[in-house]
Amino acid sequence: MSDQGKPVGFKKGLTNYGDREFSVYLRRSFASSMGYSRAMLDKPIVGIAHSASGFNNCHRHFPEMIDAVKRGVLAAGGLPIEFPTISLGETFLTPTSLKFRNLMSMDVEEMTRAQPMDSVVLLGGCDKTVPAQLMGAASADIPAIQLVAGPMSTSRHRGERLGACTDCRRFWARFRAAEIDEQEIDIVERRLASTAGTCAVMGTASTMAIIAETLGMMPANSAACPAVDADRLRIAEETGRVAFELIGKPVRPSEIITQKSVENAWRVLLAIGGSTNAVIHLTAIAGRLGIEVDLRRLNELSDTTPVLVNLKPTGTHYMEDLYAAGGVPAILRQIKHLLHLDCPTVTGETLGARLEDVSWIDHNVVKPFDEPVRETGGLVALFGNLAPRGAILKRSAADPNLFEKEGRAVVFTSLEDLANRIDSDELDVNADDFLVLQNAGPSSDAAMPEAGYLPIPSKLARAGVKDMVRMSDARMSGTAYGTIVLHIAPDAASGGPLGLVRNGDRIRLSVANRSLELLVDDAELDARRAAMPVQDTHKATRGYAMLYEREILQADEGCDFRFLK
Ligand code: FES
């Protein structure tokens, strides 16, 4: 029993046999078969929900990290017990990892609630795993602390630094434009991801790690530490200790993830020029606690938050450089006057207190507030008759020359259509056109893949075109670069106006006005809508696919399931 008289450890949440003492006796008997002494069986339990998997390269060092977490828990006086959950290896899942984020969140929620633990360490890293863990922990609302894999270290190719995955795309674009040959792309393929850890740039994994730290769900300065650094193991050990200390304290996720800490997270997302995917994930995490997100508020914050971090894909450095430059506290220190500093964190101090002893910052990587990489935030939300519920543009990774522009639509009705025609010399396209991809949103069969980074048509790439306006209801990898409008909501498959665009239509993009307008009159759009066959978005007859189809929400609601919000 705990001090408050509530059962702890193995006496918690008993399996129901109709006789409480029998349940304790039976559980202890079975737990004893794992070799625990009676003294250990009586301790509070820190669960370690980890997502190690042979299908997740980013998490290949988790056994070592789990050992370090256990060390921290044991030294503090608790019993650490690890358990696996679903793992989402970004490149190993079809059709997309996003489709399974909510499934993983349900796994985390239900297994932390159903198994006897007094607090839990959430060990994740690869893109969707941290959002899934935070969503699950927010819903279960038992004391929880996040621990991340840490970023990969860079490698070298012909004197250049290489890091997944901005350089993946850069070299692939060079290969498509016939600037490098097959032999060289093979060498690059082997060198892009050469250590354990998450993608080495400001992609989704890095962005979500920084957001988790800013929310207060991780120890200070723990997001950017490289996966292979000895500090990463010390952070894991500290996380185990803190997880034990959370037991019995009123420091649940619902105390940490609040309207104010979510606003801090938006600020940092903008200041780091972070991944567009984080808009969806943060909306979903906040939604689990009833915190509504207004994309118009995102625009207000974006106008007053400069981009300060000089990391790929918007800058030149990598995550390991950010850690050496002072890490997340260095970034937060620069925007301190914009933050709610009284927000609590899992380690007990306020966010403001964490920033007091930030003494040295490498300003090559983290710029001073008044000498930013860009004057305004990395992301903007666009609205208009083409995106009534919003769309997202990562302006920090886009070409400002394309921000105020009208263009002719070149439409691809699906990913298959895109793949079949984008490289055809017959494609009627020029650099001033807008490429439009339909039916790649959350309600489509494709389940919102990171396909929003439409390739430049081969014939234009060969002619030297590096960027053009592209738009879709899909997502984009946080590691990508281009003038790309994403997350158009509602999506085409659910009847959104994106599905009404036809080849040759004119579209006007204005980043200054935050608008995206299809320049077709309402009568014509009504006629097109009336003539469109109704899409069957309920094709699955069983299992998770059926649940997904019926319950998935649009991007502006975080693509969570209706019944989980
Ligand atoms: Fe795991 Fe990029 S593939 S973080």
198 touches 59 (CB < 8 A)? no
80: tokens are: 């650490």
**Residue 1: band (very low, low, confident or very high) from pLDDT cuts 50, 70, 90:** very low
**Residue 4: band (very low, low, confident or very high) from pLDDT cuts 50, 70, 90:** low
Quote the distance between the C-alpha of residue 389 and its chain's center: 21
306: tokens are: 């400069």
From 96, 127, 153, mutation site for ligand 1 pocket: most ligand atoms within 8 A of C-beta: 127
Encode pLDDT of 475-505 as tens digits: 998 777 899 999 999 999 999 999 999 999 9
5, pLDDT greater than 80: no
Residue nearest to ligand 1 atom 3, measured at CA: 90
Q: How far apart are CA 58 and CA 52, in angstroms?
A: 9
The whole model's pTM is what? 0.96
Encode pLDDT of 57-79 as tens digits: 999 999 999 999 999 999 999 99
Q: What is the CA radius of gyration of the chain?
A: 24
Residue 516, pLDDT score:
98
Residue nearest to ligand 1 atom 2, measured at CA: 199
The answer to whether the CB of 56 is under 6 A from ligand 1 is: no
3, pLDDT greater than 70: no
The answer to whether the CB of 505 is under 6 A from ligand 1 is: no
The answer to whether the CB of 209 is under 6 A from ligand 1 is: no
Which domains does the chain carry? Answer: 43-153+195-355 (3.40.50.2300), 155-191 (no CATH), 380-534 (3.50.30.80)
Distance 275 CA to ligand 1 centre (A): 13
What's the start-to-end Cα distance of the chain, in Å? 33
Distance 128 CA to ligand 1 centre (A): 9
The answer to whether the CB of 537 is under 6 A from ligand 1 is: no
The answer to whether the CB of 92 is under 6 A from ligand 1 is: no
Distance 41 CA to ligand 1 centre (A): 37
Residue nearest to ligand 1 atom 1, measured at CA: 126
The answer to whether the CB of 201 is under 6 A from ligand 1 is: no
Distance 13 CA to ligand 1 centre (A): 35
What is the CB neighbour count within 10 angstroms for residue 176? 16
> Tokens 């060092």 belong to which residue?
61
The answer to whether the CB of 138 is under 6 A from ligand 1 is: no
Distance 373 CA to ligand 1 centre (A): 25
For the purposes of burial, counting CB atoms within 10 Å of the CB of 93, is it exposed (0-12), middle (13-18) or buried (19 or more)?
A: middle
Q: At what angle do helices 543-551 and 98-114 cross, to 10 degrees?
A: 100
Encode pLDDT of 159-209 as tens digits: 999 999 888 988 998 898 889 999 999 999 999 999 999 999 999 999 999
Residues 6+ apart with CB under 8 A from 53: 59, 84, 87, 89
Q: What is the largest CA-CA distance in the chain?
A: 77
**Residue 301: band (very low, low, confident or very high) from pLDDT cuts 50, 70, 90:** very high
